[in-house]
């Protein structure tokens, strides 16, 4: 290992090509340090120099580095100054545009003149003729291909086509047919052109065919697929005929203008006309953006229709996006125009090459298409989402929630896709973009951080989607609990999954948030080991300081493992009765059938009685007079039980039919006959009401009365004194009332 002074000298030598020399003694001699030092030379220099000389060299270089850093810091301008300089550069560029305006025509004449000089007058006409011939051959090949493959793309066009998939299939077949024809056209033109044109001619003919012929035709095919201007019955977007045709025509016109702009810039560059000679690119680019603004402003009603779509579950946010989308398009057009002008003002050749290739148009396309992608995502989710699980308001809410989750996932993916496409158009490394003003490592860490957050968000939505869908399916059956139970509790609960899934959802979300949060922080270079250690210490502190909380959580875990209760079941916890409405990691909430909600920590539950598990036996009592025949009543009960077991409305609620248990007891008014039946939890109250109605009807039909409490008053000598005075009647009434109040039954 080299001595520290040797390492310092090696660093000094690497930073400087030559340094002042110092004498072996402090008088006049000096030592010359070569430009390239080998390790052996470093050892030799260190051996010949004193420590004072090495220290002097090191101090000199450190002072130079400090001065350089100070100069760089002094050159850093404040944001306001930078903005003023940028504005000054753009004003200078626009001034140059105005000064070159009179030369536009002459410069273009010069460009065409140089083009004519390159090929000669005959050569120019020959080139035009060859290009037209190549295009004609390609067009004929395209039509021939479409003719030969027509039976592959036959589709039935129904005037009142309402099936989305039928419309999509028809449009997709037509689009594939057009794209296949365009590919044949391009391949034939390219192959035939390479055969009849020279390489120099191809340099001029290639951009003309690509920008002015192929790209507009490709855009027209895409527009016909999306807007279907001549086939409204197959149209995939929500827009009327007028605006569909308007947008289709003007989109083709816009593509032709963009293609002409790119071609003329390439043509001028090939003919020695630079941007300093003529700023025709400025005027063509401005025309493009003005055209976009006119389209967006004129068709703002149609664009808003298209952006809103036909989804009945659209949100207020979707309405706002659809309303402001035309203005957003205008704003994007203006912003891209300003960006191009700023980049042109920098006069960077590399940037100019990217602009000539149309990177700004690609950026504008993806920014304008981003809201349309959102509309596409909402439309696809509406039609591709699995059908609603179950029925009722709960299932509907879960279905809408799942739809929003699908849309959010699609938006994140679409956003990442748009960002990467724009970066690719400008040949940008996103890490370099993120590291503007910082190190490349930091930039890469920022990009990795954002990707981890996005992946974690998507995973969280996917897990929530699966759990919510299963939860909706499990809870649908328990949604009508109160109706089935007649408002008295004791109804059937939900499934075990319906109880566990909410806790599983919370646990999964917390786990995903913690794991991906730590991964994201680690991507930023933050040491997460202290965080993990701190979390362990915090958990230990909570364990010691909140033992009651831990007892509640552990108790709840074992209750769930034992399957002691489920959401929707009617339970009794130490005298507190109600339906399990909600559970958390430490407590449960019971809703009494009269409304009150009781919150009970798991640690306080000593005994739990579940009234809603598996089956329930309901016993009914009927009091009849003493002279009633019990066997007759038994036959009536048996008949009612058999009839209800055959009734489509009630038979599914029974586990055992209603039947008589004979005479159960006697009281002072009659004998008590009891009947019973076994039912599914939650069905017993509805069945009880029906049994009461049927028993009353059968008793009336068979002349059986229900026993009722009666008071009889015996008055001695009543037979001899049938006519009582008012005082006697009052005395009799008072005696009877007194007997009733005392619970007596005088005979």
Instruction: Indicate the helix (H) or strand (E) that contains 643.
Output: helix 630-646
* 378 and 395 share one domain: no
In terms of domains, do 622 and 605 share one? Answer: no
- Alpha helix locations (H) across 647-725? 684-701
> From CA 170, how far away is CA 153, in angstroms rounded?
9
Q: Is the pTM of this model over 0.85?
A: no
Q: Is the pLDDT of residue 596 over 80?
A: yes
Same domain, 153 and 41: no
pLDDT value at residue 4: 44
Pairing state of beta strands 587-591 and 576-583? antiparallel
* pLDDT, position 431: 56
Q: Are residues 512 and 601 located together in one domain of the fold?
A: no
**Measured distance CA(555)–CA(533) in Å, rounded:** 27
What percent of the chain clears pLDDT 70, i.e. is strictly above it?
A: 71
Predicted confidence (pLDDT) at residue 42 exceeds the cutoff of 70? no
Average pLDDT, the chain: 75
Contact by Cβ (8 Å): 271, 119: no
Using one digit for the tens of pLDDT, what is the confidence trace for 62-104?
A: 777 776 666 555 555 556 676 777 777 778 878 878 888 888 8
The two structure tokens encoding residue 549? 């909380």
How many other C-beta atoms lie within 10 A of the C-beta of residue 228? 22
- Model confidence over 669-692: pLDDT tens digits? 888 888 888 888 877 878 888 888
- Same domain assignment for residues 199 and 317: yes
- The rounded distance, in Å, linking the Cα atoms of 698 and 708 is 18
Q: Are residues 121 and 222 in the same domain?
A: yes
pLDDT at 13: 42
pLDDT at 25: 43
User: Is 90 part of any domain?
Assistant: no
Total domains present in the chain? 5
In sign, the C-alpha dihedral spanning 697, 702, 708, 714 is positive
Lowest mean pLDDT of 44-58, 362-376, 456-470, 593-607, name the range. Answer: 44-58
Same domain flag for 320 and 301: yes
**84 in any annotated domain:** no
**Same domain for 167 and 295:** yes
Region 569-576 average pLDDT: 83
Per residue, what are the HEC states of 225-243?
Answer: HHHCCCCHHHCCCCCCHHH
Mean pLDDT of the 11-37 span = 44
pLDDT of 743 above 70: no
Sign of CA dihedral 593, 598, 602, 603: negative
User: Per the domain annotation, does 674 fall within a domain?
Assistant: yes
- With a pLDDT cut of 90, the percent of the chain lying above it is 4
Q: CATH code at 656?
A: 3.30.70.100
Q: Are residues 139 and 178 in the same domain?
A: yes
**131 and 211 share one domain:** yes
Same domain, 169 and 232: yes
What's the CA gap between 143 and 411, in Å, rounded?
Answer: 40
Q: What CATH code is carried by the domain that includes residue 588?
A: 2.30.30.60
SS3 538: helix
Pairing of strands 570-573, 608-610: antiparallel
Residue 82 lies in a domain: no
pLDDT in tens, 360-372: 778 877 877 776 6
Residue 2 has pLDDT above 60, yes or no: no
What confidence tens digit (pLDDT) does each residue in 449-477 have? Answer: 778 888 888 888 888 777 777 766 665 54
- For residues 352 and 236, membership in a common domain is answered with yes
Question: Residue 668's pLDDT band (boundaries 50, 70, 90)?
Answer: confident
- Output the DSSP codes for 251-276: HHHHHHHHHHHHHHHHHHHHTT--TT
Query: Which is it for the CA torsion 427, 430, 431, 433, positive or negative?
Result: positive
Q: Which of 595, 613, 631 is the last residue of a domain?
A: 613
The torsion angles phi and psi of 332, rounded to 5 degrees, stand at: -65, -40
* CB-side neighbour CA atoms (13 Å) of 606: 3
pLDDT at 414: 81
Q: Show which of 581, 613, 645 is a domain's final residue.
A: 613
- Residue 331 domain boundaries: 106-384
The answer to the question of residue 688 being in a domain is yes
């Amino acid at each position: 290992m080299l001595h520290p002074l040797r390492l310092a000298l090696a660093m000094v030598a690497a930073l400087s090509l030559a340094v002042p020399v110092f004498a072996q003694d402090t008088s006049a001699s000096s030592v010359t340090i070569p430009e390239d030092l080998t390790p052996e030379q470093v050892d030799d220099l260190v051996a010949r120099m004193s420590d004072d000389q090495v220290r002097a060299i090191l101090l000199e270089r450190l002072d130079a580095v400090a001065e350089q850093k100070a100069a760089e810091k002094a050159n850093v301008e404040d944001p306001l100054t930078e903005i003023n300089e940028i504005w000054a550069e753009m004003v200078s560029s626009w001034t140059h545009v105005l000064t070159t305006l009179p030369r536009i025509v002459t410069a273009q004449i010069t460009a065409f003149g140089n083009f004519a000089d390159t090929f000669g007058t005959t050569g120019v006409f020959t080139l035009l003729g060859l290009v037209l011939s190549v295009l004609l051959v390609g067009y004929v090949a395209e039509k021939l291909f479409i003719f030969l493959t027509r039976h592959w793309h036959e589709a039935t066009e129904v005037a009142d086509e309402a099936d989305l998939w039928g419309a999509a299939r028809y449009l997709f077949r037509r689009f594939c047919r057009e794209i296949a024809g365009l590919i044949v056209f391009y391949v034939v033109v390219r192959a035939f052109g390479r055969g009849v044109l020279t390489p120099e001619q191809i340099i001029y003919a290639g951009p003309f065919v690509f920008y002015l012929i192929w790209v507009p035709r490709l855009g027209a095919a895409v527009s016909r697929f999306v807007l279907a201007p001549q086939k409204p019955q197959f149209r995939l977007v929500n827009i009327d005929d007028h605006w569909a045709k308007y947008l289709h025509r003007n989109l083709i016109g816009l593509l032709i203008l963009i293609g002409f702009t790119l071609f003329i810039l390439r043509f001028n560059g090939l003919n020695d006309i630079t941007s300093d000679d003529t700023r025709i690119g400025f005027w063509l680019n401005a025309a493009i953006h003005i055209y976009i603004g006119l389209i967006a402003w004129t068709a703002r009603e149609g664009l808003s229709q298209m952006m809103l779509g036909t989804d009945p579950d659209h949100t207020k946010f979707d309405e706002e996006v659809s309303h402001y989308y035309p203005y957003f398009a205008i704003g994007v057009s203006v912003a891209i125009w300003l960006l191009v002008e700023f980049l042109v003002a920098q006069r960077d050749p590399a940037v100019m090459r990217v602009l000539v290739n149309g990177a700004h148009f690609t950026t504008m396309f993806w920014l304008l298409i981003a809201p349309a992608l959102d509309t596409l995502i909402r439309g696809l989710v509406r039609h591709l989402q699995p059908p609603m699980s179950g029925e009722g308001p709960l299932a509907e809410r879960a279905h809408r929630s799942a739809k929003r989750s699908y849309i959010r996932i699609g938006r994140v993916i679409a956003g990442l896709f748009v960002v990467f496409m724009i970066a690719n158009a400008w040949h940008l490394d996103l890490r370099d973009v993120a590291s503007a003003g910082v190190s490349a490592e930091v930039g890469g860490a920022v990009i990795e951080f954002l990707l981890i957050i996005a992946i974690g968000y998507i995973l969280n939505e996917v897990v929530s989607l699966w759990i919510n869908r299963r939860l909706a399916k499990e809870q649908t059956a328990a949604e009508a609990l109160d109706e089935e139970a007649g408002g008295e509790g004791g109804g059937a609960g939900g499934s075990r999954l319906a109880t566990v899934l909410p806790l599983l959802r919370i646990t999964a979300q917390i786990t995903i948030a913690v794991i991906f949060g730590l991964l994201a922080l680690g991507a930023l270079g933050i040491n997460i080991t202290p965080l993990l250690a701190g979390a362990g210490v915090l958990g230990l502190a909570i364990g010691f300081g909140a033992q009651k909380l831990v007892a509640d959580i552990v108790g709840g875990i074992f209750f769930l493992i034992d399957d002691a209760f489920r959401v929707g079941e009617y339970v009794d916890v130490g005298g507190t009765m109600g339906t399990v409405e909600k559970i958390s990691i430490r407590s449960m909430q019971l809703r009494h059938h009269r409304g009150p909600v009781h919150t009970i920590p798991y640690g306080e539950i000593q005994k739990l009685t579940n009234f809603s598990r598996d089956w329930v036996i309901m016993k009914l009592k009927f009091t009849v007079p003493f002279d009633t025949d019990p066997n007759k009543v038994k036959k009536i009960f048996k008949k009612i039980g058999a009839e209800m077991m055959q009734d489509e409305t009630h038979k599914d609620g029974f586990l055992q039919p209603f039947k008589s248990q004979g005479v159960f007891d006697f009281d002072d008014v009659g004998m008590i006959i009891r009947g019973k039946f076994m039912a599914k939890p939650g069905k017993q109250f509805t069945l009880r009401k029906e049994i009461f109605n049927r028993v009353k009807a059968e008793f009336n039909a068979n002349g059986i009365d229900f026993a009722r409490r009666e008071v009889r008053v015996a008055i001695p000598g009543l037979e001899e004194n049938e006519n009582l005075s008012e005082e006697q009647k009052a005395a009799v009434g008072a005696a009877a009332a007194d007997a009733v109040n005392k619970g007596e039954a005088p005979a």
